[in-house]
Amino acid sequence: MTTSIKTTTYQNFINNRWIESVSGKTIASINPATKEIIGYVQNSTIEELNAAVDAAYVAKKAWRKLGQSARGQLLFKTANILEENLEEIAETMTREMGKTLPEAKGETARGIAILRYYAGEGMRKDGDVIPSSDKDALMFTKRTPLGVVGVITPWNFPVAIPIWKIAPALVYGNTIVFKPASEAAVTAAKVVECFEKAGFPEGVLNFVTGSGSVIGQSLIDHPKLNAITFTGSESVGHSVAKSASARGIKYQLEMGGKNPVIVTKDANIDQAVEAVISGGFRSSGQKCTASSRVVVESTVYEEFKQKLIEATEKITVGNGLKDGIWMGPCASESQFNTFKEYIEKGKQEGATLVCGGEVLTGGEYDNGFFVTPAIFDNVTIEMAIAQDEIFGPVIALIKADDLEEAIELANNTKYGLSASIFTTNISSILEFIDEIEAGLVRINAESAGVELQAPFGGMKASSSGSREQGEAAKEFFTAIKTVFIKGS
């Protein structure tokens, strides 16, 4: 049962007011299942961006002085409002980027949980007492906000990722300028409405939509910006790092992965198959932690491959608003074209397409970007499908003689975000934990997903090195003051 959602034009939210862009232009958000327009957002100019940063700059002193506990209470209110609007926001997400409705509801519920977690930070410590060599002195550390923080987010998790950046930034006393991906900006606007209804003061949270080259770059380059947190492609991330480091501001990057799953000869094969299917094909493989390479020991390779093919062939593909649909469409025409390009590239490189990889046509499929999840066999590590982040439902199977070779193959990538292993051998588990080059290590579980209270981030080209979520978020969104007090 779905709600009725009308096509709306969303304005920018600057200094607690919804404002149209002076450009007079808007960007249409397209439903990837039907190609219908579900809403419009502003194609903003630098003028709106400057107004948003100025509003955040003016608001930062009063917001810092409000106190951590009071800031946390506003996050609690936002969580309650988001919960009241869960159904509508989840359906908007499904309409806007294709994720199935159950997945969209799960993501929205996670956003609510993240808000409540960071609301609780309002009552937790913001420093430590340190012994001084002077017995008559008091020395302690105190966390202080950075100031104005820019938040740039992708389209694949339009509720969870913005919230896991915005919530800690706010509770620790920063003000925000939020620029979402245009492909999911309608969903983002609905999330911002929840913050508005919670009663945040003027200028604390500002929302500006538009192109990355204009709004995103101008945000990073703005002289009043103190930090930038970004999740997106590696190429754009490098540009963000270059601009931010040139200005000497703090930056945080999460840029994707080529995540391996190792299946050993002693693994529970059925458990491994189920996890690889979920990790590789949920959300049409459009997760930075998606399972995209599966390295299998040779003695169980054929058994695993056949069971994986059988399970994949049972997947139902269609409009994610319908009951019984397991996988929705690619999120956009661009992602759809990328999928097709890599299917052809895999064939040209000599890999064998053993399942899926088809464009679905006819009936309801004619109006959307629907494909069948693909499995490649006979993949070698140097192939593009084994090295590039495809960001689509494509799994590359790679054979290894033993665990040592499997780990070597798994590490043979510039990325290091997430990795998992399926085994019943404790020695193999310990070796994997020590040797795998990834920030998120999972044992007998899919590579995708991390709990909100745990640090999240990658190694190598996947990350700038900082961590998001949990208590680790404090390290990025605050600076430490060391205070020494002695009586006169």
| Residues forming beta bridges with residue 484, ordered by sequence position | 139
Task: Give CA separation, 187 vs 88, 90, 160, 197, 411, in Å.
Answer: 10, 8, 11, 16, 36
pLDDT digits (tens, 9 = 90+) for 123-160: 999 899 999 999 999 999 999 999 999 999 999 999 99
pLDDT digits (tens, 9 = 90+) for 156-172: 999 999 999 999 999 99
Closest CA to 161 of 468, 455, 401, 399: 468
Note the pLDDT of residue 5: 53
Note the pLDDT of residue 450: 84
Positions marked active-site: 254
Among the listed ranges 98-107, 180-189, 447-456, which one has the minimum average pLDDT value? 447-456
Structure confidence at residue 7 as a pLDDT band (50, 70, 90): confident
* Residue 4 reports pLDDT greater than 80: no
Average pLDDT for the chain: 96
Task: Report CA torsion sign: 345, 437, 264, 402.
Answer: positive
Note the pLDDT of residue 488: 82
Closest CA to 312 of 376, 258, 369: 376
Q: What is the 3-state secondary structure (H, E, C) of 212-246?
A: HHHHHHHHHHCCCCCEEEEECCHHHHHHHHHHHHH
Structure confidence at residue 3 as a pLDDT band (50, 70, 90): very low
pLDDT digits (tens, 9 = 90+) for 366-411: 999 999 999 999 999 999 999 999 999 999 999 999 999 999 999 9
How far does the chain reach from its first CA to its final CA, in angstroms? Answer: 71
CB count, 10 Å around CB of 206?
29
Under a CB-based contact definition with an 8 Å cutoff, are residues 314 and 324 in contact?
no
Closest CA to 92 of 29, 179, 25: 29
* Residue 210 reports pLDDT greater than 90: yes
Exposure string of 392-420, with b = 16+ CB inside 10 Å and e = fewer, is bbbbbbbbbeebeebbebbebbebbbbbb
The tally of CA atoms less than 13 A away on the side-chain side of residue 487 is: 2
Token code pair at residue 313: 């062939």
pLDDT digits (tens, 9 = 90+) for 56-75: 999 999 999 999 999 999 99
**Which DSSP symbol is given to 358?**
P
Structure confidence at residue 1 as a pLDDT band (50, 70, 90): very low
Task: Tell me which residue has tokens 């604390």.
Answer: 204
Provide the 3-class DSSP secondary structure of residue 142: strand
Exposure string of 73-105, with b = 16+ CB inside 10 Å and e = fewer, is bbbbbbbebbbebbeebbbbbbbbbbbbbebbb
pLDDT digits (tens, 9 = 90+) for 213-244: 999 999 999 999 999 999 999 999 999 999 99
Note the pLDDT of residue 436: 98
pLDDT digits (tens, 9 = 90+) for 314-340: 999 999 999 999 999 999 999 999 999
Rounded to the nearest 10°, the torsion over CA 358, 360, 366, 368 is -80
Closest CA to 119 of 62, 78, 147, 175: 78
Q: What is the mean pLDDT of residues 282-306?
A: 97
Under a CB-based contact definition with an 8 Å cutoff, are residues 286 and 391 in contact?
yes
**Which DSSP symbol is given to 2?**
-
* C-alpha–C-alpha distance, residues 472 and 199, integer Å: 27
pLDDT digits (tens, 9 = 90+) for 241-293: 999 999 999 999 999 899 999 999 999 999 999 999 999 999 999 999 999 99
Percent of the residues in the chain that have a pLDDT greater than 90, as a whole number: 96
Structure confidence at residue 429 as a pLDDT band (50, 70, 90): very high
Token code pair at residue 14: 């600057």
Domains and CATH numbers, the chain: 8-255+463-486 (3.40.605.10), 259-451 (3.40.309.10)
Provide the 3-class DSSP secondary structure of residue 444: coil
Task: Give CA separation, 226 vs 140, 154, 211, 250, in Å.
Answer: 25, 21, 21, 7
Note the pLDDT of residue 6: 62
